[in-house]
Amino acid sequence: MLSNLRIFAVSHQTIPSVHINNICCYKVRASLKRLKPHVPLGRNYSSLPGLIGNDIKSLHSIINPPIAKIRNIGIMAHIDAGKTTTTERILYYSGYTRSLGDVDDGDTVTDFMAQERERGITIQSAAVTFDWKGYRVNLIDTPGHVDFTLEVERCLRVLDGAVAIFDASAGVEAQTLTVWRQADKHNIPRICFLNKMDKTGASFKYAVESIREKLKAKPLLLQLPIGEARTFKGVVDVVTKEKLLWNSNSNDGKDFERKPLLEMSDPELLKETTEARNALIEQVADLDDEFADVVLEEFSENFDLLPAEKLQTAIHRVTLAQTAVPVLCGSALKNKGIQPLLDAVTMYLPSPEERNYEFLQWYKDDLCALAFKVLHDKQRGPLVFMRIYSGTIKPQLAIHNVNGNCTERISRLLLPFADQHVEIPSLTAGNIALTVGLKHTATGDTIVSSKSSALAAARRAEREGEKKHGQNNEAERVLLAGVEIPEPVFFCTIEPPSVSKQPDLEHALKCLQREDPSLKVRLDPDSGQTILCGMGELHIEIIHDRIKREYGLETYLGPLQVAYRETILNSVCATDTLDRTLGDKRHLVTVEVEARPIETSSVTPVIEYAESISEGLLKVSQEAIESGIHSACLQGPLLGSPVQDVAITLHSLTIHPGTSTTMISACVSRCVQKALKKADKQVLEPLMSLEVTVARDYLSPVLADLAQRRGNIQEIQTRQDNKVVIGFVPLADIMGYSTVLRTLTSGSATFALELSTYQAMNSQDQNTLLNRRSGLT
């Protein structure tokens, strides 16, 4: 392969050589060596397309295609809907892998972490680049597990379109709703793929109806299945009125026939398809005025005469406007329906230039990129994934990090072609790049060419904001747009095997935090222990496992604990005086504060100042006052948990001349703590929304178990032959629930959890918790 590349480079002298790193995707290197023996790793990877034999593409067209030919898409779904299997088939049919990987065998391209291969789930999103019929597709396979929701969020932030995958036997599930809301938040056009059409209980009609009812979306049926469950053998293209049948003798699904539907051979199917096509035309005409005019003027008498191209163009516009979603179907595992899905991605999802990013006008043609993912590679150091919005990135380029306010240099520029990394000379707007050499860049950082470029963009944004009154804050937010990081709900202590290994543990945690911003690490001020805070049991378990495998540290985890919060129930005042003499300097501060509960939910304290506090006094001491209030609210009087939903009002402040700001901050903090201790206190516990899918026969024991766990059942829905129990349950009572549920239902039930809110505990449960924490029970 390398010899082919050398020949190619010699015959095109002006083009730099290409370096192929024959390493499976960016995370696999270290972990593959430590994989358990039972995981088969014998895969054949193909070379770069277009670099073998006579079919040689221009390197420039491979690396930098026209922006209209680029598609940045993500694959999102509920856990176990078939995201990774679909991705694997896409890479195979596009010619980038020579064998079909299987999640169960642990040999897929995008699930390459040892933990992913053992568990058969996606943990980290993986980016792969491939070509399909002249289009460049940057595809990101995202996790479906609720503990890794942030992975989905930060990937959607940089995508132009998404493919939502559904299990045809289950329709819309709990995590499907979550990822759909995330896509709504970032205004991402999407298409739906009903996977597992070959599965027992698969129902095309039910799945489409659940999209309409639960997601409040308008499905456009572009395909109809030929058979369902065991009888599924192909699909009908509603737009072109053709049937696509896959060869039953073919092992890989590459061979399929595309035949027009005829009255003689398929009268029933043709009738059904014609009705579906007429309904589709009417639906699109209702949503798109331009298409409606064309239909009324030329084809109102006979819809059959309407060319497929005109209908496809209209569907593209409707998809971009997000007024409806195209729906396709197939079976990734049985290799059916993937090629038409790829055609739909290139046909209906937008190119980067079709997406309207307001902040681009402020940068003109200067570099503007967003770092959306960081990985640590033992050989290369930090690898930073970037979405380029404008300008060009080149190796050895000095870039300015707006968030970190620092300048760094990119040493190498890579493109993640499936499971190989290709070193490239430059990359233009609309692409996703992998950069080497950035030591300080973290997830969500905005990257520009220089500090002056950032200032010029900020000035343009400010001028624009002044024209549209009150838009300045919005401009500033978009300029540094990052990812919202959810608050962790679980925490536990983590200790190294010996004191000498503490620096190594701190380094490992620092690297992991840069990769995963939802992981929080803090130091317990009382015990001096390191506290690990995460999004769930699986999240913390994976972090622990990664520290062991990737950094060689046998760490010890304390018992998992729930992240409670505290609040107060009544208004109280407190006064405090701090009088210290240090050396020949006297520090004297007198403070009076009032703490009161507020109805609106606020994680940080709302700080107010009485009218009697002079502006001059605030000018010199406001930062110290607010620092003191925030530090006091980090540890509540009951459990030492953060205090929320409180307002702190400063009524009076007297400062002796020469008093340091540290003393002011310490006095305010002590005074606020005194006020919180005097008030009636309340513990708030995390309440999880729970969805359990269970067979009818096991419904009673599941409901009885949830009642013991202080569960509050909202409704019980019917999904095909199963029952879906929807309700709320306190996080403290749901720990270890997966094992219990498996036992109760003989392993047939599944469940999904998501943080809903924090609710007040009743006095009996609160007293039990406090006694347990103080060691009385």
Distances (CA, A) of 353 to 189, 349, 388, 543, 733: 14, 12, 12, 38, 49
Apex 538 CA angle, 534 and 543, nearest 5:
60
Dihedral pair phi/psi, residue 162, rounded to 5°: -145, 150
For the domain that residue 691 is a member of, what is the CATH number? 3.30.70.240
More confident residue, 633 or 518: 633
Calculate mean pLDDT across residues 206-218: 92
**Per-residue pLDDT band at 273 (split at 50, 70, 90):** very high
Residue 695 domain-assigned?
yes
- What pLDDT shows up at residue 261? 87
**Residues 460 and 371 both lie in one domain:** yes
Q: Which residues are annotated as a binding site for GTP?
A: 77-84, 141-145, 195-198
CA distances from 291 to 218, 288, 300, 316 (A): 17, 6, 12, 11
pLDDT at residue number 475: 38
pLDDT at 683: 93
Which of 256-270, 332-346, 517-531 has maximum average pLDDT?
Answer: 332-346
Identify which of 81-90, 109-118, 230-239 has the greatest average pLDDT: 230-239
The DSSP bridge pattern shows strands 234-237 and 126-132 to be unpaired
Total number of domains in the chain: 5
In a domain, 57, yes or no: no
Q: Return the pLDDT at 37.
A: 34
What's the pLDDT at 49? 40
Tell me how far CA of residue 701 lies from CA of 704, 716, 745, in angstroms: 5, 14, 8
Per DSSP, the three-state class of 341 is: helix
pLDDT (tens digit, 9 = 90+) per residue, 375-385?
777 777 888 88
Looking at residue 272, what is its pLDDT? 92
Q: Calculate Rg over the CA atoms of the chain.
A: 29
Report the amino acid identity of residue 720: Q
Count Cα neighbours of 404 within 13 Å in the Cβ-side half-sphere. 18
Task: Supply the pLDDT for residue 484.
Answer: 67
Task: For residues 249-255, give the mean pLDDT.
Answer: 78
The predicted pLDDT at position 349 comes to: 94
Q: Which of 114, 118, 105 is nearest to 31 (CA)?
A: 114
Residue 731: pLDDT band (50, 70, 90) is confident
- Specify the higher pLDDT residue, 419 or 517: 517
Q: What is the pLDDT of residue 519?
A: 86
Q: Specify whether 667 is located in the same domain as 696.
A: no
Place of tokens 């053709």: 242
Mean pLDDT of 527-547: 83
Q: How many of the other CB atoms lie within 10 Å of CB of 2? A: 12
In a domain, 21, yes or no: no
CATH number, domain of 418, equals 2.40.30.10
Distance CA 353, CA 99 (A): 34
In a domain, residue 86? The reply is yes
| Closest among 580, 578, 572, 568 to 651, alpha carbons compared | 572
301-349, pLDDT tens digit by residue?
Answer: 778 888 889 999 999 999 999 999 999 999 988 889 999 999 999 999 9
Report the alpha-carbon distance of residue 688 to residue 168 in Å, rounded: 27
Domain boundary residue, one of 679, 707, 742: 679
**Residue 291 forms part of a structural domain:** yes
Compute the average pLDDT of residues 9-37: 33
Q: Do 583 and 630 have their domain in common? A: yes
Cα(667)–Cα(656) distance, integer angstroms:
13
Q: Which residue has the higher pLDDT, 127 or 10?
A: 127
Sign for the CA dihedral angle at 27, 29, 30, 32 comes to positive
Residue 416's pLDDT band (cuts 50, 70, 90): confident
The Cα–Cα gap between 724 and 442 comes to: 40
Mean pLDDT over all residues of the chain?
80
Q: Given this model, what pLDDT does residue 41 score?
A: 33
Question: Are 98 and 199 contained in the same domain?
Answer: yes
Do 430 and 72 meet the contact criterion of CB atoms below 8 Å apart?
A: yes
Residues 206 and 326 both lie in one domain: yes
Residue 655's CATH number: 3.30.230.10
Q: Which residue has the higher pLDDT, 489 or 498?
A: 498
- Cα–Cα distance measured from residue 347 to residue 123, given in angstroms and rounded to the nearest whole number: 30
Residue 666 pLDDT > 50: yes
Q: What percent of the chain has pLDDT over 90?
A: 29
Residues 111 and 195 reside in one and the same domain: yes
Q: What is the CATH number of the domain that holds 158?
A: 3.40.50.300
What SS3 string covers 474-487? HHHHHHCCCCCCCC
By the 8 A CB rule, do 110 and 123 touch?
no
Answer yes or no: is 107 within a domain.
yes
- Using pLDDT thresholds of 50, 70 and 90, give the confidence band for residue 603: confident
- The one-letter code for the residue type at 63 is I
Q: 482 and 444 in contact (C-beta within 8 Å)?
A: yes
Q: Give the closest residue to 330 by CA, choosing from 173, 191, 166.
A: 166
Q: Are 330 and 93 in contact (CB under 8 A)?
A: no
Q: Cα separation of 233 and 198, whole Å?
A: 8
CATH number, domain with residue 504: 3.30.70.870
Which structural domain, as residue segments, surrounds residue 621? 567-679
Rounded Cα distance between 85 and 98, Å, is 15
420 and 350 in a single domain? The answer is no
The pLDDT score that the predictor gives to residue 146 is 55
Is residue 57 exposed (0-12), middle (13-18) or buried (19+ Cβ within 10 Å)? middle
Condensed to tens digits (0 to 9), the pLDDT of residues 703-727 reads 999 999 999 999 998 877 788 899 9
Question: Quick check: is 15 in a domain?
Answer: no
Secondary structure in 3-state letters for 168-234:
CCCECCHHHHHHHHHHHHCCCCEEEEEECCCCCCCCHHHHHHHHHHHCCCCEEECEEEECCHHHCCE
Residue pointed to by tokens 């290369």: 380
* Averaged pLDDT, 496-525: 87
Q: Are residues 669 and 700 in the same domain?
A: no
Shared domain check, 750 and 688: yes
Same domain for 162 and 298: yes
* pLDDT for the residue 105: 53
pTM for this entry: 0.70
Task: Please indicate whether residue 72 or residue 301 has the higher confidence score (pLDDT).
Answer: 72
> Each residue of 160-180: pLDDT tens digit?
999 999 999 888 887 788 788
Burial track 205-216 (b if 16+ CB lie within 10 A, e otherwise): ebbbebbeeebe
Provide the pLDDT for residue 481. 54
Contact 691, 715 (CB under 8 A): no
Q: How confident is the model at residue 125 (pLDDT cuts 50, 70, 90)?
A: low
Question: Which residue ranges make up the annotated binding site?
Answer: 77-84, 141-145, 195-198
Q: Quote the CA–CA distance of 432 and 185 in Å, as a whole number.
A: 21
Confidence of residue 10 (pLDDT cuts 50, 70, 90): very low
**Same domain for 143 and 197?**
yes
pLDDT, tens digit, for every residue of 450-460?
A: 888 878 877 77
Extract the tokens encoding 355. 């997406």
- Comparing CA positions, the residue from 387, 317, 343 lying closest to residue 156 is 387
Judge whether 10 lies within some domain.
no
Q: What is the pLDDT of residue 466?
A: 60
Identify the three-state secondary structure at position 566: strand
Q: Which pLDDT does position 50 carry in this prediction?
A: 37
- At 538 the pLDDT is 79
CA 678 – CA 649 distance, rounded (Å):
16
Distances (CA, A) of 617 to 82, 166, 614, 624: 61, 60, 5, 11
Shared-domain flag, residues 379 and 419: yes
Low-confidence winner among 34-38, 539-543, 613-617, 728-732 (lowest mean pLDDT): 34-38
Residue 33 has pLDDT above 60, yes or no: no
Domain boundary among 333, 354, 375: 354
pLDDT of residue 30: 34
User: Using 50, 70 and 90 to split pLDDT, how confident is the model at 58?
Assistant: very low
